[in-house]
Structure 1
Amino acid sequence: MPDSGTLETILTALPGGYLLLDAQLRIQLVSPRFELLLQSPPLAVGQPLPANVLPPPVLQQLQQAPQSWSLQHFHHGMLLDWLLTPLAHGLLLSVREDRQAFRTLVENSPDIISRYDTNLVCLYVNSALASRSPLPPLYHIGLGIDDRGLPPNMCDAMHHAARQVLSSGQPYTFETEISRPERHLVFEARLLPETDDSGAIQSLLCIERDITEQHANRLWQADENRLLEMLANDRPLPEVMDWTCRMMDNQISGAMSSIMQLQPDGRHLRVAAGPGLPEDYKALIDGIAIGEGVGSCGTAAARSQTVIVSDINTDPLWAPYTELVRPFPLRACWSHPIMAHDGQLLGTFATYFAEPRQPDPLTLDIIQRTSHLMAIAIQQEQRASQLFQLATQDALTGLINRRHFMELAGKAFHDARQQGKPLSLLMLDLDHFKAINDRFGHEAGDDVLTHFARLLCDGLRNSDLVCRMGGEEFAALLIGASEEEAHIAAQRVCKAVASCSMSSNGNTIEVTVSVGLCSLDGTVMTLGDMIRQSDKALYQAKHEGRNRVCVAGND
């Protein structure tokens, strides 16, 4: 056996790391490469082998009967080959990197792994880059980071990360993004220093992992929380829909999102939101019919299932509309039906693109989840509308009820007084209504009330406030109407009612109405004054024979 000095010289020159132990596992010799590979503190000759230097599987093998053995084990991120050789007066433990196995692992890794010198000249890059770059991996070898055709933002991020690693000697983690027509990619990159035996940084190892899906989920969760807050705070539905479309346009590269809502007839869709779509295009599709072959949205609504049109110009669903859409930058349209919890159609959520495009599973999942939230928003608005109708409308005639009328009339009265504009009030009461109920029954009486409410609305303007005050008594506030104009309108209603008999359960019923009119003038100080004077005029019309109009103050 060579003397220790000669042996140390030999072992130090070899590529592996070596540890010579006596029979009691005391250190006789250790090579610098051994300490470097194991990242151990300095080991002194003559000391017992510290238990924490070797990985447990290797130490366990070493403590058994002295015989030759070899094994592979990861240690501090490296795959190492371990070999024990019994000697006449001790044991020789050698360790070295399994470079072939390491390279096999690196080349088959889904992460992009590259090595740079300290000036960011590429020394190596694995085959995973081929899926992200149009140029083969070998093309990048020998090129500086700015010469590889990478996006400027990625080059800037790498320069910044390299400065941090070179100055601190510590790994640095950062994110980079690549925008492509078909998809927006996000990578998490970790830049690590590689040192020589003296600890000086010789190269930089970069590991880039595609975190597009995780990144999109983080963004979506934040936006989803914001959307839920808007729903919880009862934000107006148009605001919620507009914000949702803008949110999706930001999340999906190149997207132009829109929401169409089912109209009351159950057969047509109206454009409810679509801030990214051309205004002229939205006007053309507003009110489209539901049906098979009616583009993406009409078909999705008819089928109650998602319709993916990756190229509008060639898809048969768009064949009747290719000329309509040709002036606009729209080439793909994915439409998802918005369904209520009971399976009823509420509308559609569409995503347009300027280029032909197919969705990936993550994007489809986000669109589906967004459509579900839009269903909640629409149903919440419908419930609120129903509650408002119950609180403000007369259930039988559909006119506003007394309470809501007093609220709206109070505001209209105040505005007219402030602005010096005319205002007139009609109080109307059906003549001999009790006799109608007694003779024909209450069901016929309800038919008469509904019939009269329709004639009253037909005889007045859409801007007038028409109310059922209770029983057979009605009121109408004619905003901006002078006494003369209101008198003409009231007479028109009286004539229409008297000349239009109605039928209920086979019975022909003749109806007339008496009207009291009061207009805003110097004697009317409050809305209550106007109502009292109109009521007084109404009683005058009843006293004078009914089926007539009397004006307050004209005794």
Structure 2
Amino acid sequence: MLALGQEKEEMLEQLIDVTENIYTDRLTSIMLLNPKTDTLHCACAPSLPECYNKAIEGIHIGPTVGSCGAAAYHRQKVITENIDTHSNWAHFKAIASRANLSSCWSVPILSSKNKLLGTFATYSRKPSSPSPFELEILEMAASVCAVTLEKYEIEEELMQSATYDFLTNAYNRRAFCQKLQQEVDDYNKHDDYVALFYIDINNFKTINDQYGHAFGDLVLVETAKRLNKLSCDTGVVGRLGGDEFALLSTFKDKNAFRRQHNQLLNDIGGGLTIDNVNCSASIGYTLIQRCDIDEYDIHSLLCLADSDMYEAKQRHKRKLMASC
């Protein structure tokens, strides 16, 4: 299933289904760790009562927190033969009783690098202790689950690196051009205008030479942050290379376009201050009516916006020379 590219959710469901078929009389769950909060969150537990899943959602791991919280904390299996008599379950006895759960065996899900990913647990409706075979099944299922989760984590990292610029987390040039092509090909949208903004940091080489490349990176990151904020979650922000960015936006009318253009001029064009150093950017654009967009390709749109940005940069240089 992994080799065939099965979806993660389907893979986890199948893993639980196989495990429960082997046990025949147990209910299984997979909880994943949020490493930022040290909390466990239900990834898949189709046989457990919904009220129980909700009650333990987001529990903090700890040495005496049920079976799963303790297994995650100690990074070793925790066998609770009788929930009613186990001190770890003092705070969960009531909800376990309502869910008709009497025992819980839990093992940590550990990656190949011994990173804690979550827990794999199985419950029964009567007190019980596992046989060596049942423990082997439980630990094997946790190992398969770890392989599954690692595979998808690696795929997500590869997709991230192939799609996003590593420094600014904006779309890289290739991914941005794909988004732009999708916009050109989409005839079903109802926005009347499509705008492509081209942004270039002024005197970026001088900034790097004078303040260092680490400061230059801060300028790039801050520019991307402001562009993302101005995009209002509907625009697409890309780093085309070096100190050049692009913003793709759609508008109902020209007034909406003018508002965003003015915001860009105010927040990035002349108002970029970092560590008391004033920076600016030249901003060009091309504005196309949706009904006319099929007359353009992405290369021509980028060239038009780039040409307008170049004219803005020349105006900026003339302004600097006049002030000297």
Q: Is the 8 A contact 2:29 2:121 kept in 1?
A: yes
Larger mean CA deviation between 445-454 and 493-502 belongs to: 493-502
Q: Is the 8 A contact 1:519 1:530 kept in 2?
A: no
**Corresponding residue for residue 273 of structure 2:** 501
Q: How does 1:4-403 map to 2 (within 5 A)?
A: 230-265=1-36, 267-403=38-174
Alpha-carbon distance between aligned partners in 2 of 1:475 and 1:264, rounded to the nearest angstrom? 34
CA deviation digits over 1:81-117, x for unaligned, max 9?
A: xxxxxxxxxxxxxxxxxxxxxxxxxxxxxxxxxxxxx
User: Where does the alignment leave 5 or more consecutive residues of structure 2 unmatched?
Assistant: 318-324
Answer 1 or 2: higher relative contact order, Cα 8 Å, separation at least 6. Answer: 2
**Corresponding residue for residue 282 of structure 2:** 514
Aligned match of 1:474 in 225, 241, 245?
245
Q: Give the alignment's TM-score, normalised by structure 2.
A: 0.86
Q: CA RMSD in A?
A: 2.4
Paired letter, 2:204: F
* Pair member with larger Rg: 1
Alpha-carbon distance between aligned partners in 2 of 1:484 and 1:510, rounded to the nearest angstrom? 29
Alpha-carbon distance between aligned partners in 2 of 1:407 and 1:456, rounded to the nearest angstrom? 19
Q: Is the 8 A contact 2:251 2:257 kept in 1?
A: no
Paired letter, 2:293: V
Alpha-carbon distance between aligned partners in 2 of 1:342 and 1:252, rounded to the nearest angstrom? 29
Shift of 1:527: 4.4
Residues 254 and 489 of structure 1, relative CA distance in 2, 3 Å threshold? farther
Alpha-carbon distance between aligned partners in 2 of 1:483 and 1:534, rounded to the nearest angstrom? 17
Residues 476 and 312 of structure 1, relative CA distance in 2, 3 Å threshold? farther
Task: Kindly indicate whether residue 293 of structure 2 is the aligned counterpart of residue 524 of structure 1.
Answer: yes
Residues 471 and 315 of structure 1, relative CA distance in 2, 3 Å threshold? same
Paired letter, 1:466: V
Residues 459 and 514 of structure 1, relative CA distance in 2, 3 Å threshold? same
Shift of 1:280: 3.8
Paired letter, 2:273: S
Alpha-carbon distance between aligned partners in 1 of 2:297 and 2:58, rounded to the nearest angstrom? 42
Residues 337 and 536 of structure 1, relative CA distance in 2, 3 Å threshold? same
Relative to its length, the structure with more helix (as a share) is: 2
Alpha-carbon distance between aligned partners in 2 of 1:279 and 1:409, rounded to the nearest angstrom? 43
Alpha-carbon distance between aligned partners in 2 of 1:311 and 1:461, rounded to the nearest angstrom? 53
Task: Kindly indicate whether residue 191 of structure 2 is the aligned counterpart of residue 421 of structure 1.
Answer: yes
User: Where does the alignment leave 5 or more consecutive residues of structure 1 unmatched?
Assistant: 1-229, 547-555
Paired letter, 1:471: G
* Percent of paired sites with the same residue: 31
Residues 369 and 392 of structure 1, relative CA distance in 2, 3 Å threshold? same
Aligned match of 1:456 in 198, 208, 227?
227
Paired letter, 1:524: I
Alpha-carbon distance between aligned partners in 2 of 1:313 and 1:397, rounded to the nearest angstrom? 52
Q: Give the alignment's TM-score, normalised by structure 1.
A: 0.52
Q: Secondary structure, in 3 states, of the residue corresponding to 2:136?
A: helix
Task: Kindly indicate whether residue 150 of structure 2 is the aligned counterpart of residue 407 of structure 1.
Answer: no
**Corresponding residue for residue 188 of structure 1:** none
